[in-house]
Amino acid sequence: MKINKNTNLPLDKFIEFALYDKDKGYYMKKNPFGKEGDFITAPNITRLFSEMIAIWIVTFWKSIGSVKKFNLFELGAGNGEMMKVIVETLKNFPECFENCKFYIHEKSKLLTKQQQSNLSSENIKWVDNIKERNSNPTIFLANEFFDALPIKQFFKKKEGWFERYVNFREIKKAVFKEQIINIEEIEKKLKFKISKDQDIIEYSPSSFDYLQNICEIINKNNGGMLIIDYGYLDSKMHETLQAVKNHKYSDILEDIGNSDITYNINFNLFKQFINQFDDLSSIISNQKKFLTSMGILQRAEIISKNIPFSKKTDLFYRVRRLIDEKQMGNLFKVMLIKKTENKFNTGFQVD
C-alpha cells in the first residue's frame, strides 16, 4: 500500500498497513518475540505451557471418538516453539500422533521461514487459506492470534455513531479523525446488533471472517477450537487499542511499522458471534484455571525433582508468571468452541 500526504484510512486498514505491509509492516520485517523483540509469549516462557496444550489435545481428540484421521491447525505460530513442543509431546501418544496431520497458517513470510527452520524435522504443512485442508475433523489452536488482527473502532455521540480513521498529514505524521457512519448497515452484515447497550465498539472484521470459516468447518467436519488470548468478559466494550515497543507501551501513531499494535479481546462479543451457530457452543475460563486444572503445577514438581535448586526456582518463577492472577493468569482467557453435543469440558471445569 502506498501512503501519501492526506491518505485517510479506517483504523483497521491503518493497522493492516502498520503490521502487515509487505515492505513496512511490523510482522513482515522483524522477529517480535523474546528479549530482543517487543514481547514474550507463553510458549517462550516455559515449554510446560505447550505440554499442557498437547495433553489437552489428546483428551479432546478422545472426546471426538479418537478418530483415525484428524487435523491439528495452528493459527499464527509465532516462532514455532509451541508447535514444536506439541509435536514432541504427542509422540508419547503414538495412536494420537500417527493419526494427526499438522498445519500452520501464518501471514508473515518472515515468521513462516523461522517456523520452517524451527520445525524442519517435522511433517508440517503451511497454508495461506484455512479452507485448504481435507474433510477430517480439525482442532484449531490460536494462542495470541486474534489480538494481532486489525480492528475497527466506533464511538457513540449525540449525532450518532462515528468510526475512527487515521489521516496522514504527512508521510510520517498521522492523526486520528472520525467520520459518521450508519451502524445499522454494519449490523446487517454481521447479522447481530453489535451496538446494543454500547457506547464504544471495538471489533475485528478479519476475526469474524476467521471465526465464520472455522465454525463452518467444525459444524461440517467436527472438531473444535482453543483460543488463548488476553481479553475481558464484560458485556460493555472498552477502548483497549495499544502499541508496544521494546516491552513498553508506545504511541500508536509514532514509529509506524516498528511497534506492535494490539487490543484486548471482548470474549463476550466472540460468544455472541458463535451463538449464531445452532449446533455450536463455547465455554470460557482464564489461563490460571485452565493450566492448573491441566496439571501444570504437578508437572513442574515432577520435573524439578532432579534439577539444581537454581533451575527449580527459575522453573516455578516461569510457571507463576503464567498462572499468577496479577500477571498472565487472569488477564489471559481461554475459550473452547465445539459441537454442542460434545459435553467435553477438560480444562474448563466449574470451581
pLDDT in tens, 213-263: 999 999 999 999 999 999 999 999 999 999 888 767 888 888 888 888 999
Strands (E), the chain: 8-10, 70-75, 100-105, 124-126, 138-143, 152-157, 160-170, 173-181, 200-203, 223-232, 242-245, 248-250, 260-262, 265-266, 280-286, 332-339
> For position 307, what pLDDT does the model report?
86
Predicted TM-score (pTM) of the model is: 0.92
User: Whose CA is closest to 20, among 331, 12, 35, 225?
Assistant: 12
Contact 143, 43 (CB under 8 A): yes
> For position 30, what pLDDT does the model report?
64
pLDDT in tens, 67-93: 999 999 999 998 999 999 999 999 999
Lowest mean pLDDT among 40-44, 88-92, 146-150, 322-326: 40-44
User: Whose CA is closest to 262, among 176, 143, 166, 151?
Assistant: 151
Amino acid present at 76: G
pLDDT in tens, 117-126: 999 989 999 9
Q: If one looks up domain 32-147+207-339 in CATH, what number appears?
A: 3.40.50.12710
Residues 6+ apart with CB under 8 A from 179: 162, 163, 165
> For position 256, what pLDDT does the model report?
83
* Cα pseudo-dihedral 152, 201, 267, 209, rounded to 10: -40
- From CA 112, how far away is CA 135, in angstroms rounded? 24
Q: Dig out the grid coordinates for 155 from the structure.
A: 464511538
* Cα pseudo-dihedral 106, 342, 292, 66, rounded to 10: -70
Greater pLDDT, 37 or 171: 171
Q: Dig out the grid coordinates for 263 from the structure.
A: 487490543
Q: Which long-range contacts (CB under 8 A, 24 or more apart) does 31-37 make?
A: 31/79, 31/110, 31/111, 31/114, 32/260, 33/78, 33/79, 34/79
Q: How much is the average pLDDT of 186-190?
A: 87
